[in-house]
Structure 1
């Protein structure tokens, strides 16, 4: 059961890549505009280089790292997923946890991108967060014959631009979705056990 999150992560991560064909907001706020620009750039690059990527699928990892990853705060995401055990980890263990979890998400994200099949996304008005530096970018993913799926991007601005620190789909948090499995692994095998497990999953190319 550990880290078996492909369906959840596909729904969570793919919407960043979609270009809206539904109603557009008259004026995007900065955070929503960032999500939109990233979506258009990622999908445009995918279409322009599709032949290369089909020949060498590993190219997608570099594109994801260049275009999408700068807008995610992986240290904050990992800290939230590790929860109470984060403070027990040494600085080196924290670095290894961030690096390992980041690679897990990159691999799943890239595979989700390769399987993109034209879903539509609608951008909704953003919602204020708990602090003035936080905001939630609200979207809906639409597929023919199915109910819209709400996907929200929780973002903050620490002075260097907006970054995603959690994604929520149908009220299920990406961070919270991993927290229980991370805690179980740490209780059984310690922080180094979780680090080793993440490393093994990345070597195998699993999520």
Structure 2
């Protein structure tokens, strides 16, 4: 298996697809009410997006280009991607130049967009049940727990959020947990190995090579 391959079984891919679908419904910053509770936010975007995916024949048919465009337009603009990349990279992020940070974000984004676009084709009849938010959490690091329900046993699925300040304030997603594995932790383990072997430039080169291979393979 390639260094950056996701080690999900088909069932895990289906759950990841539901996760991604739940993130895709926010279309404008104005849709994020500053006083919206985090569990209400997750419930809203989950319901809206699952309805959208199920109603779109092209998305359900697995049109990769359309799925990638959807993910890029409606997911990445509403994720704190810089924070996600920095956390996945670890201490090496602070030592990287501005240009290296820019390149790393670009290549990591391409990898995630394609990974999520592929997973979206697995969405079928899943539903998501959002649990009440546990008290005492900070707005900069708040977890919303949900369960994905479909065939088989319910599966735990968690979102890590932060609340942005000022005009257009609202909740931003910067990590998620699928089947007990946090996305950032998963990538950080992989990224650390590559950085230790050849530095930040080696990580960027590996991501770029992986993205080119994915593009060739469709």
Task: Give the shorter-chain TM-score range.
Answer: 0.7 to 0.9
Answering whether residue 178 of structure 2 is matched by residue 169 of structure 1, we say yes
* Pairing partner for 2:156 from 150, 160, 163: 150
> How big is the shift at 1:5?
1.2
Note if contact 2:46-2:128 (Cα within 8 Å) is conserved in structure 1. Answer: no
Question: Does the 8 A contact of 2:64 with 2:117 survive in 1?
Answer: no
- 1:15 positional shift: 2.5
SS in 2 for 1:107: helix
Unaligned runs of 5+ in 1: 19-27
Tell me by how many angstroms 1:200 deviates: 1.4
Q: 1:32 maps to which residue? A: 39
Contact 1:12 1:174 in 2 (8 A): no
Structure 2: segments with no counterpart, 5+ residues: 23-34
**TM-score (norm. length: structure 1):** 0.82
Q: Deviations over 1:85-141 (max 9, x none)?
A: 111110111111111111111111111111112222211012356524432111011
Alignment of 1:1-207 (within 5 A): 1-7=2-8, 10=13, 11-12=15-16, 14-17=18-21, 30-51=37-58, 54=61, 56-128=63-135, 130-146=137-153, 148-159=154-165, 160-205=169-214
CA distance in structure 2 between the partners assigned to 1:179 and 1:133 by the alignment = 20
Partners of 1:140 and 1:174 in 2: CA distance:
17
The runs of 4+ residues in structure 1 deviating greater than 4 Å are none
Deviations along 1:22-74, one digit per CA (max 9) or x if unpaired, are xxxxxx95322332333334333333431477384311111122222232111
CA contact (8 A) 2:54 2:124 kept: no
When the two structures are superposed, what TM-score results if normalisation uses the length of structure 2?
Answer: 0.78
